[in-house]
Amino acid sequence: MPFARVQDLDLAYDSFGDADAPALLLIAGLGTQMIRWTESFCTALAAHGLRVIRFDNRDSGLSTHIDAPAPDFVAMMAGRPIGLPYTLTDMAGDAIGLLDALGVAQAHIVGRSMGGMIAQIMASQWPPRVLSLTSIMASSGNPSLPPPAPEVLAMLMGPAPDPHRDEAGFLAHRLAFARRIAAPAPPFDEAEHHALALAELRRGWQASATARQMAAIAMDGDRRPRLATITAPALVIHGSADPLFPPPHGQDTASAIPDARFLIVAGMGHDLPAPFHPAVIEAIAQTCRQSR
């Protein structure tokens, strides 16, 4: 696994396709790793004449983990100031630094969930570096948007078993959450999700990292003023059955970005199973072609 040195971080990455093709950077979501962008997804996207790069965000997978305590969510919810070890803008800067390390002057940027928010920040803050933006199952940060389904939020915020003491319990907890946010159809592939959760655990997982990233999301605020400045061709993809960020989050994001295309995927939840890959990949490739 190659690593890129970005400031004081080592970011794990890999790539698919012709090294001389236009670059497309995939950004993972909250507490997850680059392997959520499956090899089959990456190779199918690369077949559209793209160099597809995926990487572990800071505090995730094989990339540098941050030595900092979990944030005080009680203080944050009460409106008291808290010290963040890093922000979403810092994470967007990591992605720009990775492109620098790889000698990539411009790239198409695709992010899912938290990764979509990071992609939005990249497109608004570093416009010369972004050829196109695709934001998948993300949000604008508009505080008036509908909240997650209560039981989903409870599962996300609640404690999980310690995987070092109770690996089976930890994996069962991860599977229960994955099942709850998944698409209602096709059928939930329990074996595939179990293998993915185990692979992420083996690669490098810690609960405090997810909490730090949750705090970075919560403190980023309303991105609509920044979204209004985006000039790159933009696509917003959202599942009609997303219980974590209900569909109005996607619609609001698209409405805030000038000339953005909004694609609602019927039946898709807050996940990206293989049956939805062809439609999503074709939409991303079409957006990339807009910038050529």
The pLDDT mean for the chain works out to 94
Distance (Å, whole) CA 138 – CA 253:
8
pLDDT band at 83 (very low <50, low <70, confident <90, very high): confident
CATH number of 3-290: 3.40.50.1820
The answer to whether residues 143 and 58 touch, using CB atoms and an 8 Å cutoff, is no
Report the C-alpha gap between 174 and 197 in whole angstroms.
Answer: 7
Percent of the chain predicted with pLDDT > 90: 85
CA distance 179 to 190: 8
Could you give the CA distance from residue 111 to residue 118 in angstroms, rounded to a whole number? 7
Q: How many other C-beta atoms lie within 10 A of the C-beta of residue 168?
A: 9
Instruction: Please state the pTM of the whole predicted model.
Output: 0.96
**Cα–Cα distance list, 159 to 59, 162, 189, 221 (Å):** 19, 9, 24, 25
Measured distance CA(154)–CA(148) in Å, rounded: 9
**Spatial separation of the C-alpha atoms in residues 139 and 147, rounded to whole Å:** 11
Q: Are 122 and 110 in contact (CB under 8 A)?
A: no
> Mean pLDDT lowest for which of 50-59, 67-76, 153-162, 218-227?
67-76
For residues 97-117, average pLDDT = 98
For the chain, domain boundaries: 3-290
Q: Exposed, middle or buried, 77 (CB in 10 Å: 0-12/13-18/19+)? A: exposed
204 torsion bin: left (phi>0), alpha (psi -120 to 50), beta (else): left
Question: 241 and 130 in contact (C-beta within 8 Å)?
Answer: no
pLDDT on residue 174: 95
Percent of the chain whose predicted confidence (pLDDT) is above 70: 97
CA distance between the termini of the chain: 31
- Strand 51-55 and strand 9-16: the pairing is antiparallel
Residue 74: pLDDT above 70?
Answer: no
* Bridge partners of residue 264, in order along the sequence: 238
How much is the pLDDT for 186? 86
Instruction: Please give, one letter per residue, the 3-state secondary structure of 227-287.
Output: HCCCCCCEEEEEECCCCCCCCHHHHHHHHHCCCCEEEEECCCCCCCCHHHHHHHHHHHHHH
Pairing mode, strands 234-239 and 107-112? unpaired
Please report which helix (H) or strand (E) contains residue 46, including its range: helix 39-46
The mean pLDDT of 103-119, rounded to a whole number, is: 98
Tokens at 32, concatenated: 């997850």
Query: At residue 291, does pLDDT exceed 80?
Result: no
* Residue of 154 and 109 predicted with greater confidence: 109
4 forms beta bridges with: 11
Q: Give CA–CA dist 34/199, Å, rounded.
A: 11
Give the model's pLDDT for residue 80. Answer: 64
> Can you say how many angstroms the Cα of residue 191 is from the centroid of all Cα atoms in its chain?
23
